[in-house]
Structures are given as C-alpha cells and as structure tokens.
Structure 1
C-alpha cells in the first residue's frame, strides 16, 4: 500500500494520463461537493429528485433504506424502506449481503411529479412504490432474481424496469470467480392492470433503462456488452431494438439530461497506472442519435470506484456509487 506521501504524486500521474487520453473535462464542472451519508451508512447507488414540495435528493443505501436529503444542517434522514421484515436494530448500517433478503436492497428510484409517488426497484423484492409520506413501500411486482433499474414514462404512466439475470442474484455477483450471463430483461409494468410484459431478453447484465421525454423509445444499457440499445415504443420500428451507442466502458444507469433529447450515463472502464490496472469512472452525455457530446472524469473524487449513475439537476451533476458514503456534486 502506498504511503500517504506518495498518493498525491500517484494521483497526478493518473490525472495526467486522463488528460492525454482526452477523457477528463476541465472548467465546466470545476467545483465539487459531497452530500455525505450518516456515519456508518454506505452505497448511495441511485439518486432522484422530487417536485417542488418533495425536493431531495432521495437515494438508496446498502442497508435497505431510501433516504432523503434535508439540507446541510439535517443531512440525510430515513424516508422509506422496501422490506416488511426489516428492523432498524438488525439492518441499519449493515453491509452484509446475506441480510439483503431480510433488510431489502433498493437499487433504483424514479419519482412521478404528478402523483407524488416514488417508484423503487429492489434487487430482491422487485418493483415497489411508496407515497409522499414514505414508510414501508408496497410491492407491485415480484419474483425476480436481480431487479436493478427503472424509469417512468410520464406520458402513459407505464414503468419500464430491468432485471440483470434469470439465474444469479446480487449476492452471487459479489463472489470471487463470478461469471455473468446474458439472461437480463427489459420489462414494462402497466399500473392500471398490474400486468408485467417482457420487451427484451438475452441482455448482458443491465444498468437502468430510461424513457425518452416524448415517449417514443427506451434506452437500455448492457453492462457486460458495453453498449446502449434503443427499443422503439411507437412508429414503423415499434417493438424492435437497435444498438444506439457502443461505449468505451461498462454503461450503468441512464438518466435524461436537462436538454431535451440528451442523456447521461455512468460508465466505468479499465485504465492502467503501471503496474496496476485501475477503474476509470466517467459520466457520458449523449443524444438520441447516439452522438457523444461530453465525457466527464470522476476519478479524482471517486478514485478507482465504479459509479452507478449521473443525474443532471439545475445545472449540477449528482453522481452516485455503491462503493462510497457520499453523493458527489459537480458544478460551476
């Protein structure tokens, strides 16, 4: 392990490498701040914002809670949870994956600004929803091995969500020698009927889908295949999919950008700082035609940790990771 005196010089070498490779963007997001979780809590892998009254951000954490940011004085407080068997004494602060089936493991959030409902995907418990007051979420659809991403079509109310595999669970994915498969799926839940339909199968893992603002297509990332596909919901290509973008790294959750027709995806690729390989977490902004518009490097603040999503809100970038105790905020 490098001594503290060596770490700045090693970081300088890595930043220089990133600049030369053209992946690190200076200037536009020159400032950085942390929204820190309570002591002993980790894994803010998903971030979403409510409306004017709900605010936030809301985030998911490793021990099974959904937490809400109430400003720098109060910080993050409990808002909701997914498992009816969860107890604070048994679960709060845990990082033990074997407690997941009891405590829950929410992985993705999406807020409906009209209804005030917060939709949740839990690795063990599937698709759930909770009202504006929080508390125990209600399960809408279950029976999945590894549910991991979702988004709401604000025009129809349909929920698009993903499960990473038909064979392995989130606990399996953390084991030494783990080999992923290609049995992931894109699914749609219709609130009026409760019906769940399979739209795509055979996906190589999954990050988190996103619906276009005009409701014409869904973008689907594949962690294991370094690609993002476009699944058409309407038009002459309805119910078909095509590859939109081949990414330099493994793409995780996708979120709509603040400019119509633009999106942000969190990616992680392998780089090298001899003699050690390192993970390079990045945020990629792209459009609905698959054109990459911007790439922002996060390695200075997140080190060699995988980031799971990038959310653009009021001009700032909110970056979540399952491996930190904070949400990173980048701004001008």
Structure 2
C-alpha cells in the first residue's frame, strides 16, 4: 500500500473510531438525545479586562479541610451563628464554634449510601437519593432556613432544624429538575432558579456542554403556596440575590456569563435588563450589608468557550470525540481550575476583583458571603471552605 493509501486508511479508521466511540469515552456518551444550542455571549469588547495582579485569593485561609465535602452555599442565622452549609451527602451542617453538627437534611430516605466518602464527586451517583442542598437563605424575621435542593426542589426547615419540609416540586405542571439558588424577601416570598428541566445536577457537565435553554426563574408565594414562572428559556440560570432596598433582584445567566436584573417595584416592575457583563461564568450571588453584590465565578472567559458557544454544531462534533468529560470541562474553563470573585455596586459597576489564577489555594468557588470584613468562600467541587480577610 502506498503512503497516501495508508494515510487515507488510517484517517478513515480514526474517523470511524471517533464517530462510533466504541469504548464510550466521549463526554456525551449515554445521552442519545444530547443537543447543543447557540450561546449569544457579550462581545469581547464588553468583557471586563480588570485582573487581580496580586492573586489575592492565594492568601485565603483554607478551613475545615476534608470536614465538609462540596460546601456550595454559606449562611449565618439571624443571631450571627454559623456558618451553615449544605454538603454533598445531603445534609445541612452547622459550625457551633467547636465542631460541625448536623442541622437539617432534605431526603426522608437516607441510607448508608449517604455515608462519608473521600471526595464531593463520590456522592454524585446517589444524590437523587440522599439529596443535594445547594442555595441556602435564612428568613431573618422567622429564623427559618430555606433550601434549594437540586433534586427535591424548594424546601424549608425551622430554627430547630431536622427534616426539611417541601414547599415546591413543580411550577405550572413542569417538575423542578435542577433547583439551584434562592433568596427570600421580607414577606416570605421566595425567588429561585431551576437551572434545567432536562438535566439533573449530577449531569451538570452535560448541561454546561449543551447550553440548552429550559432553565426558569421562579417565584414562590407563601400565602397562596403557589409557584409561578417569572422567566423561562434561560441558559443555565443560577445564583439569585435581592437588592438591599428590595426593588429588584439579580440572577446569574450561567451560559452567557451575565447578571440580569429583574425589577420588582417601580415603572419597570415585571421586566428585566442586563445588570452586568462578567469576566467569567457565574455561580451564586450574595448582597452584602452595604448593598454591593459579590459574584462567584468558576473561571474566566477563554476563546475556546467563547467560539464553541457561537458554533453549536462544531461543539457537538467535538464533544462526540472520544475525549472524556473531565478533559472537555478543562477545555471549557481554560485548562485548569481557577477561582474568580467580583464585587459589583447596586448600579452594576465593577468595584473589585479577586482571583487565584493558578488555582493553587482556591481552585473553585461557588459562593461568596461577606461577614464582618471577611469573605467566606464555598465551593460545590472542593472539600473545604476558604476565608479571605478583606483588611
């Protein structure tokens, strides 16, 4: 066989291997209905270029290493006690000043499947049994803790803790599939996100790769006990946080890398607009005592994520290659995990950016909670909390 013929044969065999994926190594193996969607991101010229040259998050203190697995959200009760955090085995735990103690759980069917495991990822296949508390918020008036459980929906537990009570598992006849974050207004109204009606949290990588647009922004009314859809067809909606004056709330558009503002009062009530274009891809948002908003971002934007978002057919072809999801995700985040957090004013102005661009200390961050001059950094992917001193 000539060199040209040998090359052609090798190319054909490689194409067949990639197309058939016989060893089921591709990131979308096992998802026969997987489809990719175009993302309409802000132009590069709109993306903030500010960087933290000091890599300030590398000075953060790692706390409770291997004591809390995947602490996504951080909350302090009305008396200032805590932190409370939801962990990968389905519990909400409380730091009492000396040790972690159980406070609440979301599944009534817990078993030894939910026992301690060495990494946050170890729990994923059983999350639908054990529960997975994500966003946490206290009602400062009643002391009730509201929980966005990825599998069991919107839940609430009283100040004494225990088994959480279900508030909502569907909206307008469509089940909550990936309940993610929430905030609670003074009258008990809850605003929350359902990141997808197709993918559960244990398939969050496929949701990231797909950028499908079944996500919803929701409202729970405590008087009528009904849940309504405020916005739909959102690509990976995530964090939610009310403004200090309660005239609007901000939520994260995960796929596009934006914050969107939803107006609750005034002439614009019931409408939304872009609040800020972010330097990266957001998770949770938290408002501090001054009314500024801290945004946790899993990574900065990078050319691969930007262009693959613009060309969904090319992205789907690439995802069909026998490249495991882990490595596809590394491409998506720019090659290595690295945490970025940013503070925005109530008008959407970027005030501060902190990062660990090498991922040496804070490799990932899901939430930033400011308390007494310190930032508590939670991460759904890491086995610890980190604390950064703003002073």
- Class of the TM-score when normalised by the shorter of the 2 chains: 0.7 to 0.9
Residue-by-residue CA offset, 1:252-281 (whole Å, 9 max, x unaligned): 111002213x11001121569xx9823431
Deviation of the 1:27 alpha carbon: 10
Which SS does the other structure have where 1:277 is aligned? coil
Q: Which runs of 5+ in 2 are unaligned?
A: 1-48, 170-174, 304-330
Distance of 2:386 and 2:137 partners within structure 1: 19
Aligned-pair Cα RMSD in Å: 2.4
Q: 1:226 to 1:213 in 2, by over 3 A?
A: same
Which entry has the higher C-alpha Rg, 1 or 2?
2
Which of 252, 262, 273 is the aligned partner of 1:231?
A: 262
Q: Does 1:317 align with 2:375?
A: yes
Pairing of 1:101-116 with structure 2 (within 5 A): 101-116=128-143
Which SS does the other structure have where 2:156 is aligned? strand
Which of 62, 70, 75 is the aligned partner of 1:34?
A: 62
Which SS does the other structure have where 1:110 is aligned? strand
Distance of 1:304 and 1:180 partners within structure 2: 26
Deviation of the 1:115 alpha carbon: 0.3
Partner of 1:285: 343
Distance of 1:131 and 1:32 partners within structure 2: 33
Partner of 1:187: 218
Contact 1:270–1:280 under 8 Å retained in 2? no
Q: Which moved more, 1:139-148 or 1:94-103?
A: 94-103
Q: Does 1:305 align with 2:363?
A: yes
Contact 2:362–2:386 under 8 Å retained in 1? no
Which SS does the other structure have where 1:171 is aligned? helix
Partner of 2:28: none
Deviation of the 1:86 alpha carbon: 1.1
How many pairs are equivalent?
A: 303
Contact 1:309–1:321 under 8 Å retained in 2? yes
Which of 135, 154, 177 is the aligned partner of 1:145?
A: 177
Distance of 2:86 and 2:53 partners within structure 1: 28
Which SS does the other structure have where 1:208 is aligned? strand
Q: 1:159 to 1:315 in 2, by over 3 A?
A: same
User: Larger strand proportion, structure 1 or 2?
Assistant: 1
Partner of 1:93: 116
Distance of 2:64 and 2:53 partners within structure 1: 24
Contact 1:172–1:178 under 8 Å retained in 2? no
Deviation of the 1:226 alpha carbon: 0.6
- The TM-score, its normalising length taken from structure 2, stands at 0.72
Which of 267, 275, 282 is the aligned partner of 1:251?
A: 282
Q: Which runs of 5+ in 1 are unaligned?
A: 1-20
Q: 1:302 to 1:242 in 2, by over 3 A?
A: farther
- The TM-score, its normalising length taken from structure 1, stands at 0.84
Partner of 1:264: 294
Partner of 2:87: 61
Contact 1:270–1:278 under 8 Å retained in 2? no
Distance of 2:60 and 2:217 partners within structure 1: 34
Which SS does the other structure have where 1:97 is aligned? helix
Which of 104, 109, 115 is the aligned partner of 1:80?
A: 104
Which of 119, 126, 141 is the aligned partner of 2:146?
A: 119
Distance of 2:127 and 2:347 partners within structure 1: 39
Q: Extract structure 1 runs of 4+ deviating beyond 6 A.
A: 27-30
User: Larger helix proportion, structure 1 or 2?
Assistant: 2
Which SS does the other structure have where 1:254 is aligned? strand
Q: 1:309 to 1:22 in 2, by over 3 A?
A: same
Distance of 1:304 and 1:135 partners within structure 2: 31
Deviation of the 1:33 alpha carbon: 2.1
Q: 1:29 to 1:91 in 2, by over 3 A?
A: closer
Distance of 1:177 and 1:321 partners within structure 2: 17
Deviation of the 1:34 alpha carbon: 2.6
